[in-house]
Amino acid sequence: MTIAQTKPYQKRKIIIFSDFDGTIFLQDTGHVLVDNLGCGAAYRQKLEEQFKTGERTFREISDDMWGSLTIPFGDGFDIMEKTLELDPGFREFHQYCVAEGFPFNVISAGLKPVLQRTLDLFLGEEEASSIEIVANDLQSSSGGTPWKPVWRDNTDSGHDKGESVQKARAKAQSECEPDEMPLIIFIGDGVSDLAAAREADVLFARRGLRLEEYCIEHGIPYTPFDNFSQIKKEVEAISLEDQKKTGGVGKPVRYNPRANMWRRISSKEAVPTLMAKATPSQDEKMTLWPDYFSQPKQPQPETITE
């Protein structure tokens, strides 16, 4: 009797995207630089107010913020090393991704040279070289002239994170078998991450910050996390579940989980969109201003907790 041979199961392609400021690092890299070596915290807060009132766009105030720096690139990283805190579980998680062959990508509204130098500083250049960074660029300066961001696109945020994830999914899909779909994971902390997060199949939101609150408010599926060690355990479980066979044909039990539900929820009512108008709505402000709206909600004075 001939026993039918089945095709050996190939692990499905898992691609991981993560926000940078407030997610991989607990502070904002740009704010550390400009608060100490540029316009200062007080002026930066005035810029935030100008954006929140609709007086100026995100790109306009960001140009001002980065333009307040006139130091040669690289001069401020001693302050970064003393001030920034790397998530305590990130390095182990990233090494796990490398070992498993899961591409790890940073997707950010920040400046790629700043993010790359920061990763080189904290991880070492060899380890950091395996992380793809999708962010805005910087017109190089040798010092004495204002820093000038080079934006990725013409949107108000300067970088459509959702489009970046869409392109990555399409590329991964072209490399998969016809009956397979890549699994996209996104990790973030603020509502500004929603443009990318709504393209993901699995979403991790840092506990207690604005992205988690928004997900709760709108019924968006997500997994909370306090550090990347917890994400590692979850991704390990997802990967293991994904390798289980059903019916002996080698297909994973978990086939593109959450995607349909997430995309149904990601309607115009549920997810803020970028719209060109003089006074942006509250949701549009949250989409464009990462730091302010990544902060936890403050309890009302009359709230009583037990």
In the chain, the DSSP E strands lie at 14-18, 104-111, 132-139, 148-150, 183-188, 202-206, 223-225
Does the annotation count 19 as an active-site position?
yes
Q: Is 246 helix (H, G, I), strand (E, B) or coil?
A: strand
C-alpha–C-alpha distance, residues 218 and 210, integer Å? 12
Orientation of helix 29-37 relative to helix 41-52, angle to 10° = 130
Strand partners, 150: 137
C-alpha–C-alpha distance, residues 248 and 244, integer Å? 10
Does the annotation count 21 as an active-site position?
yes
C-alpha–C-alpha distance, residues 99 and 134, integer Å? 22
C-alpha–C-alpha distance, residues 161 and 3, integer Å? 49
Q: Which two tokens stand for residue 71?
A: 């130091």
Closest to 128 measured CA to CA, from 111, 113, 150: 113
The residue from 21, 28, 64, 242 that is catalytic is 21
C-alpha–C-alpha distance, residues 83 and 265, integer Å? 38
C-alpha–C-alpha distance, residues 66 and 38, integer Å? 8
Strands 132-139 and 148-150: antiparallel
Strands 202-206 and 183-188: parallel
Q: Is 293 helix (H, G, I), strand (E, B) or coil?
A: helix
**Residue numbers annotated as active site:** 19, 21
